[in-house]
Amino acid sequence: MSTPLTDEAEGLMTVDELAAACGLTVRTTRYYASLGLVPPPVRRGRMAFYDQMHLAHLELVRALQDHGFTLQAIEGFIQDLPAEANLEDLALQRAMLTSWSARPTERLTLGALEKRAGRPLAPDDLALLESMAVLDRDGDHFLSMPNFSVGVELMSIDIPRESMQAASDAIRRHMETLVTELTDILHAQVIDPYRRGDHAPADGERMEQTVARLRRLTLEAVVTGFQRAANAVIRRSLVGD
């Protein structure tokens, strides 16, 4: 009797099925496996199979890549994971790492970057875009952030560049403080208490969905909060406070 390609009862997958489940090519999946980014496969004779833990590792790798981590840095991150980490732990890690942007960072040459900007970019233009945190350098290439077009549009506004720089510094400073405080609250009051409890494997997926909803609602709350604060400042200026 021939051996089935997959054992559905155990949820095992071939490398082709694993790659498809994670949205990768088989070649890339094999390469990541060769780097040790996923655990060794389950062996059935000469056949290699993969399960949900392998898929969870690959999804974690993709989340790290979305944040601009190099493969070398990802290797170090994966190696530092606790040996006893389970599906739930990996789901929580992925939930905390999932990019807040719908579009990932892009690595472009200067020519491709100028095409994206729709204009030539002099060295001082590039420096300004970097200072506005919409662009990073990566050797001879550039990492275009999802809000790159916002930075380019700002450069077309007839205001001193020093003013753009000061406004960008203020936004980044206050946003980093806000994100740090919110992240500390999330860890201390949501993630850590959850980790200390007893849960079924499916609970990890539900927690990941909860964190995703919190991410969306937090973005909406930040925008609404800024609008309210701005309106309050306008009202105070009108009454002379």
pLDDT band with cut points at 50, 70 and 90 for residue 122: very high
Domains in the chain: boundaries: 15-81, 106-239
Distances (CA, A) of 145 to 95, 109, 166: 21, 14, 20
Between CA 215 and CA 100 the distance in angstroms is 7
Instruction: State the pLDDT at residue 103.
Output: 67
- Residue 5 pLDDT level (bands cut at 50, 70, 90): very low
3-state secondary structure (DSSP) of residue 198:
coil
pLDDT score at 240: 66
What CA–CA distance (Å, rounded) separates 169 from 131? 8
Of 221 and 8, more confident: 221
Supply 179's token pair.
């994100």
* Bridge partners (DSSP) listed for residue 125: none
Tokens of 148: 């790159």
Can you list the alpha helix ranges (DSSP code H) found in the chain?
15-22, 26-34, 52-66, 71-79, 87-97, 110-117, 123-131, 148-155, 161-186, 192-196, 201-239
Whole-structure pTM over 0.85, yes or no? no
Q: 141-144 and 135-138 as β-strands: parallel, antiparallel, unpaired?
A: antiparallel
Half-sphere exposure (CA, 13 Å, Cβ side) for 67?
16
Confidence of residue 102 (pLDDT cuts 50, 70, 90): low
Model pLDDT, residue 3 = 42
**Residue 195 phi/psi, 5° resolution?**
-65, -30
- Domain 15-81 belongs in CATH node 1.10.1660.10: yes
* Range 98-110 average pLDDT: 75
* Angle at 18 (CA atoms; ends 46, 20), nearest 5 degrees: 135
The DSSP element (H or E) to which 49 belongs, if any, is strand 47-49
Question: Of the candidates 70, 37, 215, which has an alpha carbon nearest to the alpha carbon of residue 136?
Answer: 70
At 184, list the tokens: 């500390």
Left, alpha or beta for 107 (phi > 0: left; psi -120 to 50: alpha)? beta
- Contact predicate 76/189, CB 8 Å: no
Give DSSP secondary structure letters for 129-147: HHHTTSEEEETTEEEE-TT
What is the widest separation between alpha-carbon atoms in the chain? 88
Q: Are 93 and 50 in contact (CB under 8 A)?
A: no
Tell me which amino acid residue 46 is: R
Q: Give phi and psi for 20, each to the nearest 5.
A: -65, -40
pLDDT 10s digits, 166-224? 888 898 899 889 988 988 888 888 878 877 777 776 777 777 778 778 878 888 898 89
